[in-house]
Every structure is written in structure tokens, then in C-alpha cells.
Amino acid sequence: MKHGCLILSCGSVQLALPVECIVEVSRMVAPCARLLRVPGYVLGVVDFHGDLVPLIDLPARLGLTAPRTPEALILGHIVFTELPSGLWGLAVDGVYDLSELPVEPLPVEPRHLVGLLLGALRVSATERALVLNPVQLISVVTRARIRDELAELAGGQL
């Protein structure tokens, strides 16, 4: 069983994802198709071992940056995650380290982030990374729109 968190950078912020949901990490690649009628933080779809996987600009999704183009993320990484809604690619600016330190609860969770954070992880003596709840990253509306767009791309076979 996998334990710990993967520490990443999203814009100028350090965040972390539980490794239980991470399938693979790769260098950034250009999406093979764009999707219409989806939020600006959806970059399109990428080929993941023969499957089309939606690619999300994670910092833009979290409001840390404005939506960016895949070209602006060329030095970044894709963290492929298995969520209850399926496989997703999360574009991030950098991937730093794996940590097995315990996740500490937040003393106060900001009202607009309720449910999105699992706690904080001590990265150094002075730095912490907020640990994201991966289940809450993609909204129901976004999932439905992306599913419809993928079905259209696949000729209605999904």
C-alpha cells in the first residue's frame, strides 16, 4: 500500500497530493485534442497509454494563476491521478519530493476551501505544503461537460 504525499509547485505555492491517488508522473506533453464548452483550466486531453485523459491546469483550477496554454506549461509535469470520477491528468509547474511525514490538521480551514484540503505537511523548518483532497478537485459540472466532450471526440462511443 502506498503512503505519503507528493510535493508539487502550483504557481508560487507548494501543495501536496496523497500518493494513494497517483498513478504516474510524466513530463508535460501537448494535448492531442482541445475540448469545447469546458472551463478555461481544462487544457484538453492527453494520450495515457492509449486512453484519452482530461488534462487540468491545477494552479488555474485552484485560482492560483490565470488559465494557461500547454506551451506555457512546457517545463512542468503531469500528475496522472485516479479519482472516483476516473483518470485525470493534473498539469503542475513542478514536482519536488515524496514525503512520508504525517499530515497535520489545519487550525482553521478557510471557508472557501472547505473540503478541498486534508491538512498541511511540514516541508522544512519554515515551510508547509497544503495537502489537497483529490476527490474535491474536479466539480460535478466539469466532469459532466468533459465526459460529454470526450464522448463527442470518440464518436459517441463512451
Instruction: State residue 101's pLDDT score.
Output: 87
pLDDT, tens only, 125-154: 888 888 988 888 776 556 666 667 666 665
* pTM for the full predicted model: 0.84
Say yes or no to pLDDT of 44 above 60.
yes
pLDDT, tens only, 82-127: 988 889 999 999 999 899 888 888 777 666 667 788 888 888 888 8
Say yes or no to pLDDT of 156 above 50.
no
Is there a contact between 46 and 31 (Cβ–Cβ < 8 Å)? yes
Say yes or no to pLDDT of 27 above 90.
yes
| Sign of the CA dihedral with 117 first, then 83, 102, and 59 last | negative
Instruction: Report the candidate in 137, 129, 89, 92 with the shortest Cα–Cα distance to residue 113.
Output: 137
Residue 24 neighbours by CB under 8 Å, 6+ apart: 48, 80
Instruction: State residue 153's pLDDT score.
Output: 61
Q: What is the mean pLDDT of residues 34-54?
A: 89
Question: CATH for 5-153?
Answer: 2.40.50.180
Domain coordinates of the chain in residue numbers?
5-153
Task: Say how far apart CA 158 and CA 136 lie, in whole Å.
Answer: 23
Instruction: State residue 2's pLDDT score.
Output: 61
pLDDT, tens only, 52-68: 999 999 998 888 889 99
Instruction: State residue 150's pLDDT score.
Output: 64
As a whole number, the mean pLDDT across the chain is: 84
